[in-house]
C-alpha cells in the first residue's frame, strides 16, 4: 500500500483526478469504479474541469458505482444515483448505457445484486476503483462485522453510519436502513484501488488501515491484502488535529 499525503483537500482532489485521467488516457475503454460521500466531490469537480479543457474523453468509459441506499428513489437528491449525475455524469460525455449504479428502486434486490456482480465480471472487472472510507472503517457499505460478505449484497447500515450520513438528510429517520453494496471481494478484484480520506475525523481509521493489521472490524484494513492500493489523504487525515505522525 502506498500513501500520498497532500497539503489539503484541494490537492488531494487534484491528485486523484489526475490518476483517473491517466487511467482513461492509457485505456480509453477502461472500467472505473466510482464512490460517493463528501470526500470525492472535489475530485469529480476536477474531472469536470479537465473534461471542459478537452483533457479527457469519457465516451468509451464504463462505470460501476460502489453502492446505493435501499430503498431509495433515483429522484431523491440524497440517492447516490442523483449524486453521480449531479457531480459528474451530467457534465461529461460518458455514455449513459455504460453507467451502472445499484438500483435502489428494484423490487428484487437479491437479483439486482447478482446481476450487478455478473455485469462487472462481464465487463472484465474494474480497472481502477475509487474508495472513500467511513468513520468506522467501512468501504462501500461493507460495515464492520465478524465476517464480511464477499459479493454484491444487501446490507443493514450500522448506527454509526446512519448517524454519520444523517447530515445529508432532514433527520436520521429518513436515512434508509439498508443499502446495496459491492462486497469486499468485488472491491478487491479491482486491478487498482485509490482510497481518498480527508479531515481529522478520518485520522483514527487511517491509522488503523496503515497499521497493516487485517481485521473485519475495520473493513478497510482488508485492502492490505491487495497489491495495488494508493491512499491519497490530506494532512489532517494523516496527522490528526495534533499533527502527530501516524
Q: Is 138 a catalytic residue?
A: yes
Q: Is 30 exposed, middle or buried (0-12, 13-18, 19+ CB in 10 A)?
A: buried
User: Residues 6 or more apart from 30 whose CB is under 8 A from it?
Assistant: 23, 24, 61, 62, 127, 128
From the list 46, 68, 103, 143, the catalytic residue is: 143
Tell whether residue 163 is a contact of ligand GLP (CB under 6 A). no
Tell whether residue 142 is a contact of ligand GLP (CB under 6 A). no
Tell whether residue 133 is a contact of ligand GLP (CB under 6 A). yes
d(CA 106, CA 109): 6
Tell whether residue 13 is a contact of ligand GLP (CB under 6 A). no
For 110, the grid coordinates are 437479491
Tell whether residue 137 is a contact of ligand GLP (CB under 6 A). no
Interacting stretch for ligand GLP, rule CB under 6 A, among 36-44, 106-114, 206-214, 222-230?
36-44
E runs forming strands in 10-85: 31-34, 62-65, 67-70
CB nearer to ligand GLP: pick between 60 and 185: 185
Does 71 sit behind a cis peptide bond, omega within 30 degrees of 0 on the bond before it?
yes
Tell whether residue 65 is a contact of ligand GLP (CB under 6 A). no
Give me the residues that bind ligand GLP (CB under 6 A), please. Answer: 35-39, 66-67, 132-134, 140-141, 161, 165
Amino acid at each position: 500500500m502506498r500513501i500520498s499525503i497532500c497539503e489539503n483537500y484541494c490537492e488531494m482532489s487534484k491528485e486523484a483526478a489526475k490518476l483517473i485521467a491517466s487511467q482513461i488516457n492509457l485505456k480509453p475503454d477502461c472500467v472505473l469504479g466510482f464512490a460517493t460521500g463528501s470526500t470525492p466531490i472535489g475530485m469529480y469537480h476536477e474531472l469536470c474541469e479537465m473534461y471542459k479543457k478537452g483533457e479527457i474523453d469519457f465516451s468509451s468509459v464504463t462505470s460501476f458505482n460502489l453502492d446505493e441506499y435501499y430503498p431509495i428513489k433515483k429522484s431523491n437528491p440524497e440517492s447516490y444515483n442523483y449524486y453521480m449525475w449531479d457531480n459528474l455524469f451530467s457534465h461529461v460525455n460518458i455514455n449513459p448505457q455504460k453507467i451502472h449504479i445499484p438500483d435502489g428502486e428494484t423490487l428484487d434486490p437479491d437479483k439486482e445484486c447478482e446481476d450487478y456482480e455478473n455485469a462487472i465480471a462481464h465487463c472484465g472487472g474494474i480497472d481502477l476503483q475509487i474508495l472513500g472510507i467511513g468513520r468506522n472503517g467501512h468501504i462501500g457499505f461493507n460495515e464492520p462485522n465478524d465476517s464480511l460478505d464477499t459479493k454484491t449484497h444487501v446490507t443493514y447500515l450500522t448506527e454509526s453510519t446512519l448517524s454519520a450520513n444523517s447530515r445529508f438528510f432532514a433527520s436520521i429517520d429518513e436515512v434508509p436502513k439498508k443499502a446495496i453494496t459491492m462486497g469486499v471481494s468485488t472491491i478487491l478484484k479491482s486491478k487498482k484501488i485509490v482510497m481518498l480520506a480527508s479531515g481529522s475525523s478520518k485520522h483514527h481509521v487511517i491509522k488503523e488501515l496503515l497499521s497493516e493489521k487485517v481485521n473485519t472490524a475495520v473493513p478497510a484494513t482488508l485492502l492490505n491484502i491487495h497489491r495495488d492500493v494508493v491512499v491519497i489523504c490530506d494532512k489532517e487525515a494523516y496527522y490528526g488535529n495534533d499533527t502527530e505522525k501516524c
